[in-house]
């Protein structure tokens, strides 16, 4: 029996896709991003919360998860919502994820992913999800390895796959001070997106650095790697990127500036 490991289910979410949604946070992630703000989702195994004195992480069967999510179907219809699978990295549990998705054909489904997934499995997932939230962190491979622990070759290959499959995709770019919001990285991102992503198929969301990202770490007996190096975002570089992409008629939402429009 296929089982998935989940660390949270968030109801009435309005920031994880269209409409009002239920977001399922799945455990396990192959990346080790220094700025990760969900440390309880990194390991596939349960982790101990020093505040609640309980372990975080529960196994669900496909039947249990699908029954839980289908109980919201009327709610989704009323509020044009659906289900978002996030993490951790949900595709790290690709078989469970796929089996859940195929059994919810009438529910709108978003996959919130780093893109780091076996290509064959990612191809299967592309067939059962309506929308992808796809992280683009660092374009240069060596930098990507330095700050996330893995190469981005597989990630960029899966982004290209989504474009070939004409899947609606939101490219989410976390703006981490002096790491991803640099002039060099953003200039490379302009070239990458222009070459790879049709403007009618994607949106670009620029996400501000969360200065409270390290707040959960002590709760789980962990140390936040960037705690002593926090700086504010390089707003000029971010704004320059936004202007360049808009000049090419891409839809950009610059949350660093609090600009939620594409005007």
Name the phi and psi angles at 131, rounded to 5.
-145, 145
CB 137 within 8 A of CB 174: yes
How do residues 32-53 score in pLDDT, each as one tens digit?
999 999 999 999 999 999 999 9
Query: Nearest CA to 44 among 108, 98, 90?
Result: 90
* Residue 223 pLDDT > 60: yes
Q: Is residue 262 part of a domain?
A: no
**How do residues 149-161 score in pLDDT, each as one tens digit?**
999 999 999 999 9
* Structural domain count of the chain: 1
According to the model, what pLDDT value does residue 158 have?
98
Q: How far apart are CA 196 and CA 174, in angstroms?
A: 19
- 161 falls within a domain: yes
Q: What's the CATH code of the domain at 140?
A: 3.20.20.70
Mean pLDDT of 102-125: 97
Q: What is the span of the domain harbouring residue 130? A: 3-254
Task: Say if 238 falls within a structural domain.
Answer: yes
Confidence of residue 229 (pLDDT cuts 50, 70, 90): low
User: Is residue 190's pLDDT more than 90?
Assistant: yes
* Domain membership flag for residue 113: yes
Q: CA neighbours within 13 Å on the CB side: how many for 230?
A: 12
* pLDDT, average across residues 1-6: 93
Does the structure show a pLDDT above 60 at 14? Answer: yes
Q: Would residue 160 count as lying in a domain?
A: yes
Mean pLDDT of the chain: 94
User: Per the domain annotation, does 259 fall within a domain?
Assistant: no
Mean pLDDT of 86-109: 97
């Amino acid at each position: 029996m296929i089982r998935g490991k989940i660390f949270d289910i968030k109801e009435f979410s309005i920031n994880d896709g269209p409409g009002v949604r239920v977001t399922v946070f799945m455990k396990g992630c192959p990346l080790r991003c220094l700025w990760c703000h969900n440390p309880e989702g990194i390991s596939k195994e349960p982790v101990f919360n020093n505040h609640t004195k309980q372990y975080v992480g529960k196994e669900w069967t496909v039947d249990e998860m699908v029954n839980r999510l289908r109980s919201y179907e009327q709610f989704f219809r009323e509020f044009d919502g659906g289900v978002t699978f996030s993490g951790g990295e949900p595709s790290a549990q690709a078989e469970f994820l796929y089996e859940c998705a195929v059994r919810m054909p009438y529910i709108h489904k978003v996959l919130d992913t780093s893109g780091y997934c076996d290509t064959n499995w990612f191809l299967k997932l592309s067939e059962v999800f309506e929308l992808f939230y796809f992280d683009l962190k660092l374009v240069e491979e060596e930098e990507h390895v330095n700050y996330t622990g893995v190469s981005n070759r597989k990630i960029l290959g899966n982004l290209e796959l989504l474009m070939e499959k004409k899947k609606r995709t939101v490219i989410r770019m976390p703006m981490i001070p002096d790491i991803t919001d640099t002039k060099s990285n953003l200039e490379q991102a302009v070239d990458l997106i222009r070459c790879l992503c049709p403007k009618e198929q994607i949106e670009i969301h620029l996400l501000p650095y969360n200065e409270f990202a390290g707040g959960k770490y002590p709760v789980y007996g962990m140390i936040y790697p960037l705690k002593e190096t926090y700086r504010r975002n390089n707003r000029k570089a971010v704004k320059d990127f936004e202007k360049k992409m808009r000049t090419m008629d891409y839809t950009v939402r610059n949350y660093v500036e609090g600009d939620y429009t594409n005007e």
